[in-house]
Chain A
Amino acid sequence: MRESIIMKIHYGTAVAAVALVAVHILFRFTLGFAESLEYENVIANYQFLPYAGMLEIILILISIHGFNGLRVVLLELKQGSQYEKSVNYGCLGAMALVILYGSRTIFMTNMGMM
């Protein structure tokens, strides 16, 4: 993939994530910070489908943006085709792992499988 396409995705995920994370944080203030983190309230959040969907989107957006950012930093630190290949695939793998792990939490909690 051309670097300009990757960076367009990088900027796009950033803008979208900012908007959605703002909503995510606002949810912490609906009941007061400590109260919003109580088990029952958190479960209620997860089981509210639009909110769970939003969490999933945030998870994907930040994973893409964050791990691409890490890839950029690592590519600039050291060069070499083997190293660069490892960084590219390593970051892609780490991104996929985090998305899978986070999705598991969202999905299972949403379905009441705790």
Chain B
Amino acid sequence: MPNIDENKEGIKGMANPTRYGIERFAYLLMRLSGLGLLVYFVVHIYETSMILQGKVGWDEFLEITQTTEGHIILALVIGMSVFHTVNGIRVMLGHGGIGVGKPARPDYPYPAQSQNAKHKISIYSAIVLAAIAMMYGIGVMFGD
């Protein structure tokens, strides 16, 4: 049943990345990685406070986190951090009006200048760099 008040697409529509190209996918990933990193940050602040319980407390905490599952979560955090950082720089520059094109009389079929190759390449680069960083992180964590 549509919400007749405004017929808003809602969270489902906002989070649907399939209709508007890679930029919309980047928007969703940016949001999800941001929320994921905030959760990790709060957990990290809590887990590091275990140091106050002395060596026994700290070692007990390490036993929980230095596991395969712990390393996989950390690898995801690395990926999220790299994507959020690289894409964040792209978005920040874009927000300042840098790299979004120059206004001009549009010609049919009206390709949007703000959705240019520079931005698309930056988004793909952010994804690739995140994947590389994750693999490197996995190598380091599981290599030890």
Contacts and interface: CB of A to CB of B under 8 A. Distances in A.
Query: Is B a genuine binding partner of A?
Result: yes
Interface of A: 11, 14-15, 18, 21, 29, 32-35, 37, 39, 42-43, 46, 59, 62-63, 66-67, 69-70, 73, 77, 98, 101-102, 104-105, 108-109, 113-114
B120 interface: no
A105 B48 contact: yes
Given A11-B92, A69-B38, A73-B35, A37 B52 contact: no
19 contacts: A14-B92, A15-B92, A29-B140, A32-B144, A33-B144, A34-B144, A39-B55, A39-B59, A42-B51, A43-B51, A62-B41, A66-B34, A69-B34, A73-B34, A73-B35, A77-B11, A102-B48, A104-B49, A114-B53
Interface of B: 11, 31, 34-35, 37-38, 41-42, 45-46, 48-49, 51-55, 58-59, 62, 66, 81, 85, 88, 92, 95, 140-141, 144
B41 to A, nearest CB: 6
A105 B62 contact: no
Contacts of A73: 31, 34-35
Given A11-B92, A21-B81, A73-B31, A109 B51 contact: yes
A102 B55 CA distance: 19
Contacts of A63: 41
Given A15-B92, A101-B46, 8 more contacts: A18-B85, A33-B144, A66-B34, A66-B38, A70-B35, A98-B45, A102-B45, A108-B52
Contact of B45 (A34, A43, A101): A101
B90 to A, nearest CB: 12
B68 to A, nearest CB: 14
